[in-house]
């Protein structure tokens, strides 16, 4: 049994230590942020005992509450609108009659994922001022809907492609008209993918900073933009606390998306 074994990268010496290091590099800063959110000291770098007081401070801060409320409202509206548009778009791309240009259309829809966000942010700002639109929250909702669409579309499109057309053919063969086919066959089979897409959209909208920063105006500040504002006056444990809350919400949603997406 001894002697030369065939090369197997899984048995590289030090692989587990190396992997642990990478994880440490990923998550140590986050962990430190979360730990200091529970620090009772006013100083961010000195530990002075466990306390919830910064969370209480956050909860009592009216401006943070308003910003959080804006963020959630924008995320909910953008998620619903983006998911509805994405579902229709995925159906058109995978089941529509268009014979050519399908991959070009898919690439165009996915483009915002690779275009530098700062470019999208600036063009969105210019677009709105060019049109003379200054509607605060509504501008933000529109902007968020647009950049959420590809996040919602991709899982739905992938599911439709995996599913193939045979189940829908079976439905038509069994006398279902298009609307009832959609309601009874296609939609129920898409629900996991639609939920996963919607959750992704929600998280992306909730966490967005650059575009919101450009588009938001006084009175329509979102939470990440507000946190950035607080940071300019110095990092306070309040920032840690609010960041921890935002982090927890994102983790819960992304985990939910993974769980729902796995269910077929």
Residue of the chain from 108, 167, 231, 251 that contacts another protein (CB under 8 A): 167
Residue 5 makes contact with another protein by CB under 8 A: no
Q: Which is nearer to another protein, 65 or 184 (CB)?
A: 184
Q: Are 57 and 238 in contact (CB under 8 A)?
A: yes
Q: Which of 171, 224, 237, 261 binds another protein (CB under 8 A)?
A: 171
Between 134 and 161, name the residue whose CB sits nearer to another protein: 161
Q: Does 160 bind another protein (CB under 8 A)?
A: no
Among 45, 60, 103, 166, binds another protein (CB under 8 A): 166
197 lines the binding site for another protein (CB under 8 A): no
Cα distance between residue 247 and residue 127, in whole Å: 31
Is residue 123 within 8 A of residue 146, CB to CB? The reply is: no
Q: Residues in contact with another protein, total (CB under 8 A)?
A: 19
Distance from C-alpha of 196 to C-alpha of 256, rounded to nearest angstrom? 8
In our burial notation (b when 16+ CB lie closer than 10 A, e otherwise), range 75-87 reads bebbbebbbebbb
**How many angstroms separate the first and last alpha carbons of the chain?**
43
170 binds another protein (CB under 8 A): yes
Q: 79-118: which residues touch another protein (CB under 8 A)?
A: 99-100
The reply on whether position 184 binds another protein by CB under 8 A is: yes
Cα separation, 105 vs 200, whole angstroms: 21
């Amino acid at each position: 049994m001894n002697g030369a074994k065939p090369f197997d990268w899984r048995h590289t010496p030090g692989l587990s230590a190396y992997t642990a290091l990478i994880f440490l590099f990923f998550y140590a800063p986050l962990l430190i942020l979360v730990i200091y959110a529970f620090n009772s000291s006013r100083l961010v770098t000195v530990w002075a005992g466990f306390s919830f007081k910064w969370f209480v401070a956050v909860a009592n801060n009216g401006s943070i509450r308003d910003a959080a409320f804006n963020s959630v409202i924008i995320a909910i509206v953008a998620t619903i609108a983006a998911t509805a548009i994405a579902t229709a778009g995925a159906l058109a791309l995978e089941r529509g009659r268009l014979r050519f240009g399908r991959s070009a259309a898919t690439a165009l829809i996915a483009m915002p994922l690779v275009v530098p966000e700062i470019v999208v942010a600036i063009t969105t700002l210019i677009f709105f001022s060019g049109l003379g639109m200054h509607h605060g929250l509504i501008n933000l909702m529109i902007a968020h809907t647009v950049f959420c669409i590809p996040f919602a579309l991709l899982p739905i499109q992938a599911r439709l492609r995996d599913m193939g057309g045979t189940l829908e053919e079976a439905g038509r063969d069994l006398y279902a008209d298009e609307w009832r086919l959609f309601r009874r066959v296609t939609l129920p089979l898409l629900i996991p993918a639609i939920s996963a897409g919607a959750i992704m959209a929600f998280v992306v909208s909730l966490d967005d900073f650059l575009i919101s920063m450009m588009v938001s105006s006084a009175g329509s500040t979102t939470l990440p933009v507000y946190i950035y504002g607080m940071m300019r006056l110095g990092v306070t444990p309040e920032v840690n606390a609010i960041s921890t809350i935002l982090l927890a919400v994102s983790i819960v949603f992304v985990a939910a998306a993974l769980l729902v997406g796995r269910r077929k």
